[in-house]
Chain A
Amino acid sequence: MEQVIDIISWICLLGGALVVLIGGIGLVRFPDLFTRIHAASLADSGGAILVIVGCMLQAGLTLAGVKLAAILLFLLFTSPTAGYALAHSAITAKDDGLDVDIESD
C-alpha cells in the first residue's frame, strides 16, 4: 500500500512541475497581456493543486497534511482573484487612458 501512495504522489508532483513549466513557457511565448494572464493562471491553479496534493499524499494524515490542505484552500481562493484583478485593472486602465502596453511583442 505504501508504494502505491508513493507512486501516485510522485506522479502528482511531476505532473504539477510539468504544468508549471508549461505555464512558464506560455508566459514567455504568448503575444499580449491577456493571453499571458491565461498562461500564468494555468501554472498558478493547476500546478499548485497537483504539487500540494502530491505533498499531502507524502505527509499522510498528520498535522502537516492538514496545514497543506489549508494552504491549498487559500491558494484556490487567491490565485484566480489575482488573475481577475490583473485583467480587470488592465482593461479599466486602458479606458482611463493610461499607457498600458498590452500588445507588447
Chain B
Amino acid sequence: MEILGLYNYWVFAILLLIGLYAVITKPNFTKKLIGLNIFQAAIFLLYISMDKVDGGTAPIIPHGAAKDIIYSNPVPQVLILTAIVVGISTTALGLALVVRIREAYGTIEEDKVISMDRDQ
C-alpha cells in the first residue's frame, strides 16, 4: 500500500517527460505549445500532491469551527494558482506568435521555417 503513495510523483515524472518529448520532437509550433502545457501541468501535480494530509479537508476554517480538524497545506495551492495563470499567459503569447509566424512564413512547421530563413 505504501508504494501507492509515490504514484503521484511517478505520474508527475511521466507527464513531465511526455511534455518534454512533445516539445523536442514535434516540429509543429502549436503542438509544441500543447506539449509545454502538459509539461507545466505536471509541475502543478507535483506541488499539489505535496499538500494532501490523510483525513484532512480543504483549508477553509469557518467561524467557530472545532479546533481538532486536520487541514491540508494551503501554501502549494497558492503557488500553483500563480503558476496556472503564468502557464496560460505563456500559452496565449505563444499562440499569438504562432498566428504571426503563419502569416509571415505561411507555415507553422519549424523545419520549413528554418529552411526558409536559411536560404533567404
Q: Do chains A and B touch in the complex (CB under 8 A)?
A: no
